[in-house]
Structure 1
Amino acid sequence: MRVIAWLVEGTWPACVDAVRGHVPQTAEVVLVHVSGPDVPGLAHGAFAGLLGRGRSTGHRADGSWGSDPGDLMDALGAGSAAELLAAAAERLGRPCATEERSGRVEREVVAAAEGADLLVLARDGDRSRLGPKSLGPAVRFAVDHAPCPVLLVWPEPAPGLETIPPPPHHH
């Protein structure tokens, strides 16, 4: 059995705990984090557009950073993804693989789930009530397009049944 757990800042402990509680010890577990290109890309674009392309950019030989904030954001993002994956692997407490991906988050998650027997992910929308709005766009896409069964978890205890929206009124 191959299990993919999609880990996101803020909700990853719930996914790791779901794997610990629902996945057999013999399963191959892959912890996946996806960094979207949006923030560093916006920083690169803003820097280039506002300040011109002729500036010194990137990581210098002396270990300091050039003036393009997108380069620094790329490096910081990679570091935080590695830290998150390391913390998740420690919390899991059993052998696992880790995988860092970058690109369109929802599509990378679906691609990572190819050939898997289970995809574990957490709700990322309005978690104050039950219902479809508890799924943000990326999670909704992954749930709708996953090529395997999905275990969808609440990052905190689920709201009560009284939070279900009323049925629509038909005339």
Structure 2
Amino acid sequence: MRVVVWLVEGTWPACVDAVRRHAPQATDTVLLYVDQHDVPGLAHGAFAGLLGRARSEADPGDRLEDLDAPAATRLLDAAAERLGRPCTRLERGGRPEREVVAAAAGADLLVLARDGDRSRPGPHSLGPAGRFVVDHAPCPVLLVWPEPAPEAGPPPSPPGPGVH
């Protein structure tokens, strides 16, 4: 069984714990971190544009690039230690939602955490990236709450007659 686990800062422990709890027989676990290369690029652009005129300071985009690689390695190392079994660590760069879907090709299970409004259950508990992954994943998805799930009140009323 091949399991891909999408690791995101702040929510990754819940995903790793879900694999330990729900996929103990997994023989191939892939811990996936996606580096958004656009963040340093935005800083470079801002500095070179309006903020960088007639300034002698260093480009903040360079510092962001320097900080990013060790942070990804630390996160992958911490996740592997928490998992407590052999795994593959995979770091990709690009648009997270597309990289996650691509990495899940051939997997038996994809594990990810809710990335939207986590104060109540419902469709808004998924942000745009999470929604894209859930909608386009090429395998079954295990969607976890990164913290205890909020109280689920009564479900919404069904639509009225003629509403689809």
1:163, distance to aligned residue in structure 2 (A):
6.0
Alignment of 1:36-115 (within 5 A): 36-50=36-50, 51=52, 67-115=58-106
Give the residue type in structure 1 aligned to 2:10: G
Residue deviations 1:8-31 (CA, integer Å, cap 9, x gap): 011000000000001134420000
Instruction: Calculate the aligned-residue CA RMSD, in Å.
Output: 2.0
Residue aligning to 2:131: 140
Distance 2:70 2:154 in 1: 39
Task: Report if the CA contact (8 A) 2:3-2:26 is conserved.
Answer: no
Distance 1:48 1:41 in 2: 10
Residue aligning to 2:141: 150
Residue aligning to 1:2: 2
Change (3 A) 1:41 1:29: same
Task: Report if the CA contact (8 A) 1:129-1:164 is conserved.
Answer: no
Distance 1:157 1:164 in 2: 19
Structure 2 unaligned segments of length 5 or more: list them: none
Residue aligning to 2:115: 124
Give the match's secondary structure for 1:162: coil
1:157, distance to aligned residue in structure 2 (A):
1.5
Q: Which runs of 4+ in 1 moved over 2 A?
A: 163-171
Give the residue type in structure 2 aligned to 1:123: R
Structure 1 unaligned segments of length 5 or more: list them: 57-65
Task: Report if the CA contact (8 A) 1:130-1:163 is conserved.
Answer: no
Task: Report the identity percentage.
Answer: 71
Give the match's secondary structure for 1:128: coil
Change (3 A) 1:163 1:10: farther
TM-score normalised by length of structure 2: 0.89
Residue deviations 1:19-52 (CA, integer Å, cap 9, x gap): 0001134420000011112321110111121326
Residue aligning to 2:15: 15
Residue deviations 1:107-128 (CA, integer Å, cap 9, x gap): 0110111111110000011111
